[in-house]
Amino acid sequence: MDIGIPRERRESEYRVGLTPIGVQLLAAEGHAVYVERGAGLGAGFSDRDYEQAGARIVYQPQEAFGRAELVLKVARPTAEECEWLREGQTLMGLLHLAAARRSRVEALLEKRITAIGYEMIQHEDGALPVLTPLSQAAGRMLVQVAGNLLQNDKGGKGILLSGVPGVPPAEVVIIGAGTLGTCAARAFTGVGATVYLLDRDLARLQQVESQLDGRAITMVSHEFNVRKVVKFADVLIGAVLLPGQRAPIVVTREMVQSMKPRSVIIDMSIDQGGCVETSRPTSHVSPTFVQEGIIHFCVPNMPSVVARTTTHAFNNAAWPYIQSVTRLGIDAALEADRALARGVNTRHGEIINPALRVSEVK
């Protein structure tokens, strides 16, 4: 199979679709891998690394896309990249199409692309094997992001997350007790913050309560509970996820207006449209804005700035599915693996993910 690894073109996206080790494994099985020049530099992989692994370096993005039967990316294709895709290809990446412009979906349909979103690959028990390590990384990053945004020089309230003897710590509210929310709760409790973790699943809250030895305060995320906790939150983190769908709004503008001035909102659901009504996508170049007197951080690809770690992490998790496609071909791979099949958004010019039929895309 011919496989293309283009350079990512979205702002501040430093990750790459496949590591040199992945290339080496594919080349050893007789596949041809075309890597665009400079594709791995952000993650610390040189063109020489890829050449030594058995890849061919190509110098135009059109070639990285055009030669491939299978395109391995990180981020959703831009409008320009959609033009470079050719009919009938398979595309794998963190696509988040439910929050994409409709034109992106239509381009994939027009070219009959089999578009597999890593974030939608799902086991029978609901586990998201490729998304999980990225959520773990993002959850652990949140402490450094939140601590920085609370500083006076960043416009924050001048609060130290941990507090000091005689001065209480920051109050951190996390909505969503999935992988990201749980990892964030563990990280914030680890530095001494007071953590409130909300989720609609009581069994999940009981599980997290045990995992964290009671160090986080757990609450069911009824609307009245959300209204209550946002009023005193120094940091509010949205970590709501419905795989393959737009995130629901759980924090309204009215709730944001009730927050203390210069508090911080970090909407980690922004790659699926956001779970806070006042959120809008930002970037690492300009990560924050102030709305209703509250600092908002809404960077969709937050883990991209730890590109070496997160490229290895999601490649490790995605590898069995990539290998299945390259060994069996896309038809047989989807037939053999239900988890992989759940990741399909579009195929043969048709929408497979129901959320793409009803979502109000941006």
For 24-40, write each residue's pLDDT tens digit.
999 999 999 999 999 99
How many percent of the chain have pLDDT more than 70?
99
pLDDT at 362 over 80: no
Same domain, 28 and 106: yes
* Confidence at residue 209, expressed as pLDDT on a 0 to 100 scale: 94
Same domain, 277 and 314: no
Banded pLDDT at 357 (limits 50, 70, 90): confident
Q: Is residue 126 part of a domain?
A: no
Same domain, 181 and 166: yes
Around Cβ 15, how many Cβ atoms within 10 Å?
A: 28
Same domain, 294 and 191: yes
Amino acid at 77: P
Task: Determine whether 125 is an active site residue.
Answer: no
Q: Coil, helix or strand for 93? A: strand
Average pLDDT, the chain: 96
Same domain, 275 and 200: yes
Determine whether 29 is exposed, middle or buried from the number of CB atoms within 10 Å of its CB (0-12, 13-18, 19+).
exposed
Angle formed by the axes of helices 179-190 and 131-149, to 10°?
Answer: 40
Q: Is residue 10 part of a domain?
A: yes
Which has more confidence, 141 or 357?
A: 141
Q: Is residue 198 part of a domain?
A: yes
Q: Residues near 164 by Cβ (< 8 Å), separated by ≥ 6? A: none
Q: Is residue 164 part of a domain?
A: yes
From the candidates 96, 199, 234, 296, which is the catalytic residue?
96
The torsion of the CA quartet 330, 49, 29, 71, rounded to 10 degrees, works out to 10
Cα dist. 159→20, 162, 349 in Å? 43, 9, 52
Amino acid at 33: V
Same domain, 113 and 148: no
Q: What is the mean pLDDT of residues 178-197?
A: 97
Q: Is residue 19 part of a domain?
A: yes
* Confidence at residue 361, expressed as pLDDT on a 0 to 100 scale: 40
Q: How far apart are CA 321 and CA 301, in angstroms?
A: 22
Same domain, 52 and 87: yes
Lowest mean pLDDT of 44-48, 92-96, 229-233, 243-247, name the range: 243-247
From the candidates 199, 234, 271, 296, which is the catalytic residue?
271
pLDDT at 201 over 80: yes
* Confidence at residue 359, expressed as pLDDT on a 0 to 100 scale: 45
Banded pLDDT at 164 (limits 50, 70, 90): very high
The torsion of the CA quartet 333, 335, 339, 341, rounded to 10 degrees, works out to 90
Q: Is residue 97 part of a domain?
A: yes
CATH value at residue 141 = 3.40.50.720
Amino acid at 318: A
pLDDT at 97 over 70: yes
How many percent of the chain have pLDDT more than 90?
96
Residues 249 and 276 sit within 8 Å (Cβ to Cβ): yes
Same domain, 26 and 96: yes
Around Cβ 151, how many Cβ atoms within 10 Å?
A: 13
171-175 vs 288-291, strand pairing mode = unpaired
User: In which element (H, E) is residue 36 found?
Assistant: strand 32-36
Q: Is residue 190 part of a domain?
A: yes
Task: Determine whether 312 is an active site residue.
Answer: no
Q: Return the sign of the alpha-carbon dihedral for residues 173, 176, 182, 183.
A: negative
Q: Which domain holds residue 139?
A: 131-300
Same domain, 36 and 49: yes
Q: How many domains does the chain have?
A: 2
Same domain, 345 and 288: no
**Residue where a domain terminates, one of 270, 300, 330:** 300
Same domain, 147 and 288: yes
Cα dist. 65→24, 28, 114, 199 in Å? 20, 22, 14, 41
Q: Is residue 346 part of a domain?
A: yes
Copy the structure tokens of residue 346.
Answer: 């579009």
Same domain, 61 and 106: yes
* 268-317 pLDDT, tens digit each: 999 999 999 999 999 999 999 999 999 999 999 999 999 999 999 999 99
DSSP 8-state secondary structure symbol assigned to residue 164: B
Copy the structure tokens of residue 305.
Answer: 């700035």
